[in-house]
Amino acid sequence: MQEKHQHYLLFKPDGYVSQFVTNEPKGYKKKLLGEFHDFPEGIMAIGRLDEASEGLLLLTTNGKLSYYINSSAIEKEYFAQVDGIITEEAIDKLKNGLTLSNQGSTYKTKPCEAKKISPPDLPARRKNIRGDHHGPTSWVSITLTEGKYRQVRKMTAAVGFPTLRLVRARIGDLTIKGMQPGQVTPLPDLKNIVGFH
C-alpha cells in the first residue's frame, strides 16, 4: 500500500525560522514551525524564508515532491517594502538580472518579473518596521523561478533600495490571500496543484 503523504500551507510570521528542529548553539531560543500545529512525523518546509521574512510556506512529508518544487521553475512572488521610492531604472535592473554574491562566489540572477505596487493589504507584523519619520518607503512585487539564499533582499539592496519587509505572497497558484500569520491550512492534493507526477 502506497504511503499517504500530508501537505500544508503555512503563513509564516516574522521571528520564526523555517525549521522544526535546530542544532544551532542557542537554538533553544529560536521560534520553530512546530508551534503552529501538531504536524505529522517527517514534515519538512519546501524552501525556506529567513527569520525576518513572512508569508507562504509549503510543508510536506514527501521528500520527492519537496525536491521537485525546489528544483523546478515554479513561480514564487514576493512583496518587498523597500527603503525609499523605488525608481523605474531600479525596476529595470531587477528585471534584467543582477550579479550577486553567495558564500564567497558570485552568480547572476535570471531575468524576472518586477513592478512597483501599491502597499498590499497585509496583516500587521509581530515586530514593527521603522516609523515614517525615517523617510518614505515603497513596495515592489518580484516574481522569481529561483530562490537562492536571501536573494530578494540582496537584489533590492544591489539596486540601492534595501528591503525593510519581505512577504512571500504566492507559490505557483497558491497564495496567502485570506490567511493570517500562523494559520495552517491542510492541502489534500499538492501534487496536482504543482504538476508533480
Active-site residues, by number, are 50
**CA pair distance 70, 76, nearest whole angstrom:** 10
Separation of alpha carbons 22 and 112, rounded Å: 33
Contact 90, 116 (CB under 8 A): no
Q: Burial-class residue 49 by CB neighbours within 10 Å (0-12, 13-18, 19+).
A: buried
CA-CA distance, 186 to 103, in Å (whole number)? 35
